């Protein structure tokens, strides 16, 4: 009688253990849904996400030229109509990340400050009819997980389009 009860408890514990493991795995997978990048840049990306999302979604580095990122980081107190608080350590880490994941302007090309003006944004959207006006609020129309910094997953309408 007694040992049967103990065995039952043991089985319950094993089931509970498996359940907790699954839960933990689920959580860590969720945390890992960011695209894998070399470890050297992960702190920069983390800092970028902490500092540059909230007012708007975090904008993926490759849609703007390197020079635009540099300008925004150099003058965070003049950020469009507002001001962004940025520690100088954050500035350095973010710059390291954004510089590595964006590409430079052509010589003499005007500096875009809005996505709408960016050649790189356009190059990533060949044949996609884009909303007018194009703001960061419209990304989620087509990018299912734009709020989680995932620009690979598309809404079903776009997922299988050429």
Among positions 118-137, residues that touch ligand HEC (CB under 6 A) are: 124-126, 128, 130-131, 134-136
In angstroms, the CA 105 to CA 65 distance is 6
Among positions 34-63, residues that touch ligand HEC (CB under 6 A) are: 51-52, 54-56, 59-60, 62-63
Among 28, 82, 132, 160, binds ligand HEC (CB under 6 A): 82
User: Whose Cβ is closer to ligand HEC: residue 24's or residue 131's?
Assistant: 131
Helix (H) or strand (E) holding 94: helix 88-100
No. of helices (H) and no. of strands (E), the chain: 7, 0
User: Whose Cβ is closer to ligand HEC: residue 5's or residue 152's?
Assistant: 152
- Please report how close the Cβ of residue 36 comes to ligand HEC at its closest, in angstroms: 13
Q: 65, 117 in Cβ contact below 8 A? A: no
- Please report how close the Cβ of residue 20 comes to ligand HEC at its closest, in angstroms: 35
Q: How crowded is residue 93: how many other Cβ atoms within 10 Å of its Cβ?
A: 19
Q: How crowded is residue 103: how many other Cβ atoms within 10 Å of its Cβ?
A: 14
User: Whose Cβ is closer to ligand HEC: residue 9's or residue 155's?
Assistant: 155
In angstroms, the CA 139 to CA 150 distance is 11
- # residues contacting ligand HEC (CB under 6 A): 38
Q: Which residues contact 117 (CB under 8 A, 6 or more apart)?
A: 110
Q: What are the residues binding ligand HEC (CB under 6 A)? A: 51-52, 54-56, 59-60, 62-64, 72, 76, 79-82, 84, 86, 114-115, 124-126, 128, 130-131, 134-136, 138-139, 141-143, 151-152, 154, 158
């Amino acid at each position: 009688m007694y040992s049967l009860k103990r065995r039952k408890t043991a089985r319950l514990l094993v089931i509970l253990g498996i359940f907790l493991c699954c839960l933990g795995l689920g959580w860590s997978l969720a945390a890992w849904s960011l695209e894998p990048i070399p470890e050297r840049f992960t702190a920069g990306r983390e800092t970028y996400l902490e500092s540059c999302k909230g007012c708007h979604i975090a904008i993926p580095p490759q849609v703007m030229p390197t020079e635009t990122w540099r300008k925004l980081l150099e003058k965070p107190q003049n950020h469009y109509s507002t001001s962004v608080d940025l520690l100088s350590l954050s500035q350095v880490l973010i710059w390291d990340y954004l510089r590595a994941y964006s590409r430079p302007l052509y010589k003499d090309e005007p500096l875009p400050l809005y996505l709408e003006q960016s050649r790189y944004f356009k190059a990533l959207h060949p044949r996609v009819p884009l909303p007018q006006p194009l703001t960061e609020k419209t990304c989620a129309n087509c990018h299912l997980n734009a709020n989680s910094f995932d620009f690979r997953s598309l809404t079903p309408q776009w997922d299988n389009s050429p």
